Amino acid sequence: MRESPPSAKLVLEDGTIYLGRSVGAPGERCFELVFQTAMSGYQEILTDPSYCGQGVVMTYPQIGNYGVHPDDEESHRCWPEAFFMRQLSPVASSWRARQSLGAYLKEREVLAMDGLDTRHLTLKLRRQGALRAIFSTEDMDEGRLQAKLQQHPSLSGQDLAQKVSCRQGYAWSQGLDPEFPVQDLPVHNGPPLDLVCLDFGIKRNILRCLVQTGFRPWVVPADTPAEAILERKPDGVFLSNGPGDPAAVEYAHNSVRNLCEAGLPVLGICFGHQILAHAFGGATEKMKFGHHGANHPVIELETGRIDITSQNHSFAVQAESLKGTGLSVTHLNGNDGSVEGLRHQELPVQSVQYHPEAAPGPHDAAHLFARFRQRIRPQS
Amino acid sequence: MPRRDDLESILLIGSGPIVIGQACEFDYSGTQACKALKEEGYRVLLVNSNPATIMTDPDLADRTFIEPITPEFVGRILEQERPDAILPTLGGQTALNTAVGLHQEGLLEKYGVEMIGADFEVIQKAEDRELFRKAMENIGLRNAPSVVAHNLAQAFAGLEQVGLPCVVRPAFTLGGSGGGLAYNRVEFEEVVRRGLMLSPVSEVLIEKSLVGWKEYELEVMRDRSDNCVIICSIENLDPMGVHTGDSITVAPAQTLTDREYQRMRDAAMAIMREIGVETGGSNVQFAVNPEDGDMIVIEMNPRVSRSSALASKATGFPIAKFAAKLAVGYTLDEIQNDITKETPACFEPTLDYVVVKMPRFAFEKFPKSDSTLGTQMKSVGETMAIGRTFEEAFQKALRGLEVGRDGFSGKKTSYQADELRQKVARPAPGRLFAIYDAIVAGHEIEEIQRLSGIDPWFLAFMASLVQADQALGQDGIQGLSRNRLRNLKKRGFSDARLASLCGLGEGELRQRRLGMEIQPGYRLVDTCAGEFQAKTPYFYSTYDCMEEEEAPQPGRRVIILGGGPNRIGQGIEFDYCCVHASLALREMGIESVMINSNPETVSTDFDISDRLYFEPLTLEDVLAVCDREQPEGVIVQFGGQTPLNLAEGLRKAGVPILGTPVNAIDRAEDRGRFAALLRKLGLRQPENGIATSPTEAQQIAERIGFPVLVRPSYVLGGRAMEIVYDGRDLDRYMKEAVSVSPEHPVLIDRFLEDAAEVDVDCLADGKDVLMGAVMEHIEEAGIHSGDSTCVIPPISLGESIVEEIVAATRALALELGVIGLMNVQFAVRGDNVFILEVNPRASRTVPYVAKATGVPLAQLATQVMAGRSLQELGAREPGSNEHIAVKAPAFPFAKFPGARADLGPEMRSTGEVMGIDRSFGLAFAKASEAAGRRLPISGKVFLTVKDADKRQVGLVARNLHDLGFELVATDGTYKVLRRHGIPVTRINKVHEGRPHVVDLIKNREVQLIINTPLGKVTRYDDGMIRTESYQANIPCLTTMSAAMAAVEGIQALKEGHASVRPLQDYFLSVPTA
């Protein structure tokens, strides 16, 4: 690990330059930068479709320590436009490791860099908010890179769900790996309930948790109209996480509204939660730098219960916008008081901003899946 | 849930003397708890026998009891003070055991006192091995297969189920005391016997050995609303088989996939719930099979622990403070995160740096003890380092350990055939250096991993550091380009290491580096990886820093250098002084900046100073902070020898040293200059000389006469100091000592046999001198002052002698130009006063003096160093008090089987206690009890004394007989006592056949031993007697003066109960009617 000349360059929209070592695929990309504060779970992060359109900075400096394993994939591919680390591990040390992260990044054609001062970059993002940036292993000319970056649109107004969603419906039947059980989420042995999952970029662990809880998920593309879903006569509908601006997916606002009004029990997570707000006329806003980590306290207002949650979002539901929508706030973020959960006052509809399926992150909120099922079919 | 209003007063139990397994971390946690409870408006009572703690400062609690921490004494405090509750979860195992004792004796119920923090059932469930195993089964978790045994027969029966190798763990002992690993039946029997003896409930757990598995710890907090958070995960670099206190540990966990980590997190929370801890912090330990990830629960501590202190410093999350708040009813969401000041404490810290802790050992003090590390903790201190990467933190920790290493380096270049493999395989201090050599010698990582069980992730970085180190060694200074230097600095290489690789001086390399504009930056420990703004200036240095954070503002500021890792001779007493320095500076409106590397301490609590730098105490690291902070001065006289050793380097670099000039230190330490100083003042010192060769040593010894006291120059804690009685002995010593320290000559002093030793602490401002206290040692001269029992005020010195001592002290302080503290050691023989040693710095006894006299010496000294005069301060010398305060040492001999338990000029105690009462006898009795050597009030006393003591032994024996004791003696002493007409039974010496005296001790048939060793050669019997007495925990008095003190103590105990009284009452300014 002798100092090798910088082989990659990251240029931010404010002109800041970070040099480092290219440790992934060659190429050049523009994106919006966010920082992730989880200390483990880089593979889950890399394969989370919600990162589409974003570059991810890992705040924990040692990444890749335990390699990668196929079971830890949250989707069929890696999504971040680029991945930034302080130090990529030279070895993969775990009985589970099947491949080193370095080899994986190259194989999956992920642009990646290490050797940069990730804390400096993180503090910059905290102070200035999420920034647009360009990363290149090909062109080291700052002027040209800046020019290319100026062409790149911001995340706001972008419908990225279309980009990451499945093209056609499919069934999901795999539950959680019994070797890695989740606290408060025992296997449900009753007859499974049919659940249609609107895929805005769904993570596999959500599906695994749903199966574990006694659902039979059928995953459909983001733009599936309400009628097509209603035709399947499901017991409930699930709205997944996903990337991009929730305001931009108007088609989904409408179909979700229809599904809710049809009286179907609905659960939304993250992007799905934001869609739900929009469906009833609420609004979302772009956050300064969002929540991307595995240590966010969320307070359930009714019980005072606090769960430490996994989070990954750059947009949030505006609390004031909920007036008259029929939706009420059920959860708040313990750190900044932002909206973390909603429930409809009459309809069996609820949503959370955080990730009860974790992956990566703590399992505190996994009970949410069981509670959802309970509400649909009590004591079954 | 808000604060509990049904409680008004709370008794906090401390942890007593510093012993292996229980060190300053409990002063840190207790102090935090005390402050937190006061902040909440409770009336806080506190009991701790250790006077060197910050928590026992009289202004911290409302009522501060420096009393033995035993159910008996704490029970008396309950009876007298009637607090509403006791909080036992912040004082280590001692506090927990005491609380259990109080409960079992019905005292809590009797006095209507509630146990908060954890209740009896919780403690039982967590500590009782069988209950714990069942609890784990209930929640589907596994322990290592194990059986509980209460006697040897049960143990062997259990062994059939568990198999060898196995671990034996005694119940309710601290630091794994008495436990161990057994590979064969002989070892097994030995460990079981020891374990049964040391366990207060005579119970051991025999457990399948998981040697070689990976070891992890999680620090968990839970509140009464069932909010549960993990504060920190820790991964041990040394695999299972080495006590976690003796392991190199790393935070956060490095080699767990998220799935594995979350499974462990779930398990830790389930354990908290099952055991029932609902108002505080705990730690849970896990073993993970590196082959298949199989996870096993090792144990949990339902209290704040050493690891919690580490976790607090590693993350910035003040576990103890919050544990105290949870204990009085708060929930985590109601408490604010101290660092961000805007987010709640109900969250999990996330790090953007790596923390490495390394243990510090003292095996050199215990020759013949086995330095192999096992399940019983043996380290005496630790250092912690923070870096942006493992490599940086690892190398910082290595130099922070202060063992003469400036980073990762080797031991030697050639090894015997299998020697290197053995050294890599055997967990022992310095194994890392053998690993360095193994890598250089071309051993593959896989092989080193197989031998050591260390995870390849750590080994890969080590190998890479070795490569860089060796490459630079080959390329030399020509190869040190700016890029390469910067890269090496980022990887934690010290200037000193790089300089030696390049054949430069450290100063030269530093200049070159600064010339290339390569400097460290400082980063905040902020609990949140930068997500929120940190309000608390708690820093670490890193060369991976594009831009500074929170640069200092202009203003007056002073840097205090701490003492680094605890070691024998340099521990909590110095940290106490550093903390006081910081508090005094802040009070004066001067910004205090602390540099220290010891995570156990109060000084590294970010609440104590205006700015805290968690850094190794090396010249490079300290100068870097000085460059950034530009202080008006640095205080080097409070942290012990560590900062003192840096003084000259700092001065040369132009950093102003506050207080006593560096020259005065040299004048006191350089023998020639010191002798001149004494001559000038007309003071006397024992005849002496300096030898640079064995021949010279013999000449000097002949001139001044045997016995002589020999030691290398510039040592701390009496390292390698010995009394030698003849030429042959001297020759042997010279050969050993010169090999210990080839740079420095050997000092030879006439040893004053049978002299009384006296310590004095004073404070001077250049014009006036304030006497802190004159302390008389109970033991004769020749026993290191840190190991002797001493008393304030002196009890047997004549007034004129005390006056002479005081006058000499004043003269010395003024002549040396001391500004700040000074300690002088005297020997008094007949009417003659000799100066043994002058230390123009804070001494180990400063806190004891402060507690005994009520004069805050360290705070006053700081104010004086910052420019105030004693007159201005209006400081007055302590008046004559009605009370007597005895300080007694606590020894770690029980942890080092095989090592001789003799007292001598080399310090071996790890801590101290104080007994305070209205008479010397009571104070001595309390001190003995607090130090774990409880004086019996009935039973059998065994006496064997040297001829010189045979005149006095009659009196002591007569008193003991009158007090109702049965007496047993070996032949010589037996005859003397018979002649005095004192009833006594004769017992065989070891070589006289059996049963002999050691049998008697092993069977615990005696309750007290009086054994004064013959000066010249400590006989086999004496060594055995004392060693066995420590193993059997029977008080053993080795001098006649101590024996007489004990008699007085026993008398006082028999006459009536020792009372308990808080410090605040001893120092009432208005006399009570």
Q: Exposed (0-12), middle (13-18) or buried (19+): which is B736, by Cβ within 10 Å?
A: exposed
Chain B residues with CB-CB distance to A123 below 8 A? 530, 549
Chain B residues with CB-CB distance to A209 below 8 A? none
pLDDT above 70 (res B102): yes
Token code pair at residue B185: 């039946």
pLDDT above 60 (res A335): yes
- Suggest the residue from A17, A39, A42 to mutate for an interface test with chain B (most B CBs closer than 10 A): A39
Cα angle value B1015/B1019/B1022 (rounded, 5°): 90
- Residue B485 neighbours by CB under 8 Å, 6+ apart: B498, B512, B513, B516, B518
Question: Which one of B347, B388, B530 has the shortest CB-CB distance to A295?
Answer: B347
Chain A residues with CB-CB distance to B390 below 8 A? 62
Cα angle value B382/B388/B390 (rounded, 5°): 60
Record: contact A39-B350, CB cut-off 8 A: yes
Give all strands (DSSP E) within A241-283, no chain letters: 266-269
Tell me the shortest Cα–Cα distance from B209 to chain A, in angstroms: 21
Beta bridge partners of A112: A83
Residue B501, φ and ψ in degrees, nearest 5: -70, -30
Question: Which one of B259, B292, B344 has the shortest CB-CB distance to A180?
Answer: B259
Going edge to edge, which strands form the sheet with B985-986? B985-986, B966-969, B940-944, B1008-1011, B1036-1037
Q: What are the helix and strand counts (H, E) for chain A?
A: 10, 19
| Gap between the Cα atoms of B744 and B757, Å rounded | 27
Strands A193-199 and A170-171: unpaired
Please tell me the least confidently modeled range out of A94-103, B750-759, B1023-1032.
Answer: B1023-1032
Token code pair at residue A54: 């974003």
Beta bridge partners of B610: none
User: Per-residue pLDDT tens for B453-484?
Assistant: 999 999 999 999 999 999 999 999 999 999 99
pLDDT recorded at residue B472: 97
DSSP string, B856-881: -HHHHHHHHHTT--HHHHT-------
Name the band, by pLDDT with cuts 50, 70 and 90, for residue A145: very high
Q: How many CB atoms lie within 10 A of CB A147?
A: 11
Three-state secondary structure of B772-828: EEEEEEEEECCCCHHHCCEEECCCCCCHHHHHHHHHHHHHHHHHHCCEEEEEEEEEE
Name the band, by pLDDT with cuts 50, 70 and 90, for residue B1071: very low
- Dihedral sign of CA atoms B522, B526, B529, B530 in order: negative
Chain A residues with CB-CB distance to B290 below 8 A? 95
pLDDT recorded at residue B917: 94
**Residues B231 and B219: beta-carbon distance below 8 Å:** yes
| Gap between the Cα atoms of B466 and B481, Å rounded | 19
Cα angle value B781/B900/B692 (rounded, 5°): 60
Residue A355 annotated to the active site: yes
Q: What are the helix and strand counts (H, E) for chain B?
A: 37, 38
Record: contact A126-B530, CB cut-off 8 A: yes
Name the band, by pLDDT with cuts 50, 70 and 90, for residue B623: very high
Tell me the shortest Cα–Cα distance from A191 to chain B, in angstroms: 26
**Residues B319 and B281: beta-carbon distance below 8 Å:** yes
Residue B588, φ and ψ in degrees, nearest 5: -85, 0
pLDDT recorded at residue B1069: 53
Chain B residues with CB-CB distance to A6 below 8 A? none
Q: Does A297 touch chain B (CB under 8 A)?
A: yes
User: Per-residue pLDDT tens for B281-292?
Assistant: 999 999 999 999
Chain B residues with CB-CB distance to A287 below 8 A? none
pLDDT above 90 (res B198): no
User: Per-residue pLDDT tens for B687-708?
Assistant: 998 888 888 889 999 999 999 9
- Residue B524 neighbours by CB under 8 Å, 6+ apart: B534, B536, B537, B538, B539, B549, B550
pLDDT recorded at residue B718: 62
Residue given tokens 């006053």 in the structure block? B860
pLDDT recorded at residue A2: 47
Chain B residues with CB-CB distance to A288 below 8 A? none
| Gap between the Cα atoms of B787 and B784, Å rounded | 5
Q: Exposed (0-12), middle (13-18) or buried (19+): which is B742, by Cβ within 10 Å?
A: exposed
Q: Is the ipTM of this complex over 0.85?
A: yes
| Gap between the Cα atoms of B587 and B795, Å rounded | 37
Name the band, by pLDDT with cuts 50, 70 and 90, for residue B1072: very low
Share of chain A above pLDDT 70, in %: 98
Name the band, by pLDDT with cuts 50, 70 and 90, for residue B171: confident
| Gap between the Cα atoms of B1008 and B1004, Å rounded | 10
Name the band, by pLDDT with cuts 50, 70 and 90, for residue B715: low
**Residues A239 and A372: beta-carbon distance below 8 Å:** no
pTM over 0.90: yes
Alpha helices, H only, B70-151? 71-81, 92-104, 107-110, 120-127, 129-138
User: Per-residue pLDDT tens for B954-996?
Assistant: 999 999 999 999 999 999 999 999 999 999 999 998 888 889 9
pLDDT recorded at residue A190: 85
User: Per-residue pLDDT tens for B1023-1067?
Assistant: 778 888 887 888 988 888 889 989 999 998 888 768 899 999 998
Q: Does A66 touch chain B (CB under 8 A)?
A: yes
Q: CB contacts < 8 Å between A and B, how many?
A: 182
Q: Which residue has the higher pLDDT, B920 or B172?
A: B920
pLDDT above 90 (res B669): no
Chain A 22-41, residues with CB within 8 Å of chain B CB atoms:
35, 37-41
Estimate the crossing angle of helix B92-104 against helix B25-39, to 10 degrees.
Answer: 60
Q: Which of A188, A313, A331, A355 is catalytic?
A: A355
Mean pLDDT value across residues B104-120: 96
Closest A-chain CA to B548: A120
Question: Which one of A66, A117, A293 has the shortest CB-CB distance to B350?
Answer: A293
Tell me the shortest Cα–Cα distance from A115 to chain B, in angstroms: 9
pLDDT recorded at residue B739: 58
Residue B154, amino acid: Q
B1059: DSSP letter: P
Name the band, by pLDDT with cuts 50, 70 and 90, for residue A289: very high
pLDDT recorded at residue B1073: 32
Mean pLDDT value across residues B722-729: 87
Mean pLDDT value across residues A35-49: 98
pLDDT above 50 (res A37): yes
pLDDT above 50 (res A74): yes
Q: Which of A73, A270, A292, A344 is catalytic?
A: A270
Mean per-residue pLDDT of chain B: 92
Residue A270 annotated to the active site: yes
Element (H, E) at A256: helix A250-261
Residue B51, φ and ψ in degrees, nearest 5: -75, -15
Residue given tokens 């929009």 in the structure block? A278
Beta bridge partners of B611: B593
Question: Which one of A40, A61, A90 has the shortest CB-CB distance to B258?
Answer: A40
| DSSP-based helix, strand, coil % in chain A, nearest 5 | 25, 30, 45
DSSP string, B396-416: HHHHHT-SS-SSS--S-S---
Chain A residues with CB-CB distance to B260 below 8 A? 94, 96, 180
Name the band, by pLDDT with cuts 50, 70 and 90, for residue B1015: low
Cα angle value B510/B515/B520 (rounded, 5°): 60
Q: Exposed (0-12), middle (13-18) or buried (19+): which is B398, by Cβ within 10 Å?
A: buried
Name the band, by pLDDT with cuts 50, 70 and 90, for residue B721: confident
User: Per-residue pLDDT tens for A210-236?
Assistant: 999 999 999 999 999 999 999 999 999
Mean per-residue pLDDT of chain A: 95
User: Per-residue pLDDT tens for B206-227?
Assistant: 989 898 999 999 999 999 999 9
Residue B150, φ and ψ in degrees, nearest 5: -110, -5
User: Per-residue pLDDT tens for B942-955?
Assistant: 999 988 888 889 99
Q: Which residue has the higher pLDDT, B355 or B550?
A: B355
Residue B730, φ and ψ in degrees, nearest 5: -65, -40
Record: contact A360-B258, CB cut-off 8 A: yes
Q: Does A47 touch chain B (CB under 8 A)?
A: no
Beta bridge partners of B770: B763
Closest B-chain CA to A88: B389
| Gap between the Cα atoms of B209 and B289, Å rounded | 12
Q: How many CB atoms lie within 10 A of CB A263?
A: 11
pLDDT recorded at residue A63: 98
Question: Which one of A39, A86, A335 has the shortest CB-CB distance to B347?
Answer: A335
Record: contact A181-B353, CB cut-off 8 A: no
Q: Which of A44, A357, A363, A367 is catalytic?
A: A357
Residue A357 annotated to the active site: yes
pLDDT recorded at residue B1: 66
Q: Does A187 touch chain B (CB under 8 A)?
A: no
Q: Does A182 touch chain B (CB under 8 A)?
A: yes
A98: DSSP letter: S
Name the band, by pLDDT with cuts 50, 70 and 90, for residue B141: very high
Record: contact B354-A62, CB cut-off 8 A: yes
Name the band, by pLDDT with cuts 50, 70 and 90, for residue B1017: very low
Chain A residues with CB-CB distance to B456 below 8 A? 91, 93
Peptide bond into B793 cis (omega under 30): yes
Record: contact B257-A96, CB cut-off 8 A: yes
Peptide bond into B252 cis (omega under 30): yes
Question: Which one of A61, A65, A305 has the shortest CB-CB distance to B353?
Answer: A61
pLDDT above 90 (res B744): no
Chain A residues with CB-CB distance to B547 below 8 A? 120
pLDDT recorded at residue B990: 83
Residue B1019, amino acid: R
| Gap between the Cα atoms of B8 and B85, Å rounded | 8
Q: Which of B426, B442, B433 is nearest to B411 (CA)?
A: B433
- Residue B170 neighbours by CB under 8 Å, 6+ apart: B177, B178, B179, B194, B195, B196, B198, B199, B203, B204, B205
pLDDT above 60 (res B251): yes
Please tell me the least confidently modeled range out of B262-266, B374-378, B494-498.
Answer: B374-378
**Residues A82 and A57: beta-carbon distance below 8 Å:** no
Tell me the shortest Cα–Cα distance from A133 to chain B, in angstroms: 18
Residue A292, φ and ψ in degrees, nearest 5: -140, 95
Q: Does A294 touch chain B (CB under 8 A)?
A: yes
Mean pLDDT value across residues A188-210: 96
Residue B727, amino acid: G
**Number of residues written out for chain B:** 1073
Tell me the shortest Cα–Cα distance from B525 to chain A, in angstroms: 12
Token code pair at residue A134: 């360009």
pLDDT recorded at residue B745: 81
**Residues B1022 and B997: beta-carbon distance below 8 Å:** no
pLDDT recorded at residue A30: 96
Q: Which of B33, B39, B34 is nearest to B61 (CA)?
A: B34
Closest A-chain CA to B268: A183
Mean pLDDT value across residues B567-583: 96
Mean pLDDT value across residues B351-355: 98
